[in-house]
Amino acid sequence: MCVLMLFNSVDRLSYIEIEQATEIPILNLKQCLQSLACIEGKNVLRKEPVSKDIREDNVFFFNDKFSSEFYRVKIAQMEPELEKQEVRQGVEDIKPQINAAIVRIMKVRRALDHDNIVAEVTKQLQSRFLPDPVVIK
């Protein structure tokens, strides 16, 4: 909202001017500007040059052609690629632990139905993390 409020008084702002006026940390500002200017169909702001990434030489201006039939407009946040990789890595670290727990349980019990396996795996791993039943399946 802080970024949008800047456009009440001026038509065009550079990335550097927005950064200085808002004092938002660089990564958060780039994520915010991507959400406002780079999502097709919901670009409240326009930028020059047109591209997906945000650089210091970009100039932003309000998109006069933007309209919405809703009173309240939702703007989706774009996740940085680094954050997506961390989440993927976290999921990949969890899978071997789940597999090991399933193997331990099945060696002892020999035969169990699905619901009991999920319950037992959850019970064994709850001290480390709460596994998702979909991942266990």
- The pLDDT value recorded for residue 136 is 79
Structure tokens at 64: 């006069």
Amino acid identity for residue 6 in this structure: L
Q: Quote the distance between the C-alpha of residue 110 and its chain's center.
A: 41
- The pLDDT value recorded for residue 134 is 83
Name the average pLDDT for the chain. Answer: 82
80 confidence band (pLDDT: 50, 70, 90): low
- The pLDDT value recorded for residue 128 is 82
Phi-psi region of 29 (alpha: psi -120 to 50; beta: other; left: phi over 0): alpha
